[in-house]
Amino acid sequence: MRRRNSGESVTDPLGHVFGSPALLAQALRHRSAGAPHNERLEFLGDALVNLFIAEALYARWPTADEGALTRARAELVRESSLASIARTLELGARLTLGPGELKSGGHRRDSILADTVEAIVAAIYLDAGFDACREAVLAWFELPMEALPAPGKVAKDAKTRLQEWLQARQRPLPIYELLAEEGEEHARLFRVSCSLAQPALVAEGEGTSRRAAEQVAAEAALALIPSTAR
């Protein structure tokens, strides 16, 4: 493992000089380009990002309860937020993609960019260790963290809001069902339904992942609840 010397110049937007460039190359290689790709690194990086952000929020908001901390972490590590960080780090132009992804503009897709951020986190960890990785990652999240509302003011996602609305009225929880999964492997589109028993209604949503589609469907269901039922 190699740590950056205090006097060493860092010009890479990542803020880390790799002792093992092969790790960075793998982190930037999408599975469409063949092995060794970044999916295993993404798995490890996801856990590291969640740990670093949870630790930072815990220290930053000493009086916030678990719910506020959880919502803030979810806001910071959601796909669109990670993709925004990837764009700030100029990762799109550095990706290694297969022909299909190149043709479809994979270097701009939120899901690919977010996964790449997580893979690079793991690569830095394997290259330089826990402390160096945490230092680099928290620097990326500094501005997004500063932009967070005060503790307790971070908006709840649609699925949480819908569930809490139903639970407060002792009504059955929503049922989410995958209706369709379409498109090429590198550009999947998911369509999901959200069904409520009381009030009886069904809403649908689409997204680039099942989780994202469920959020859209939940938001649609909330909009369909009659005002008389609120």
Confidence of residue 42 (pLDDT cuts 50, 70, 90): very high
Is residue 221 a contact partner of residue 194, using CB atoms and an 8 Å limit? yes
Q: Where are the alpha helices (DSSP H) in 152-225?
A: 158-168, 210-224
pLDDT at residue 10, as a whole number:
43
Is the pLDDT reported for residue 51 higher than 50?
Answer: yes
Domains of the chain: residue spans and CATH: 21-146 (1.10.1520.10), 158-229 (3.30.160.20)
- Beta strands 201-207 and 175-182 are unpaired
Q: What is the pLDDT of residues 107-142, one digit of tens each?
A: 888 889 999 999 999 999 999 999 999 999 999 999
The closest alpha carbon to 118, from 167, 47, 173, 46, belongs to 46
Is residue 209 a contact partner of residue 79, using CB atoms and an 8 Å limit? yes
Q: What is the pLDDT of residues 67-122, one digit of tens each?
A: 889 888 988 998 889 999 999 999 999 999 998 888 888 888 888 999 999 999 99
| Positions marked catalytic | 46, 118
Q: What is the DSSP letter of 6?
A: T
Question: pLDDT above 70 covers what percent of the chain?
Answer: 90
pLDDT at residue 230, as a whole number:
59
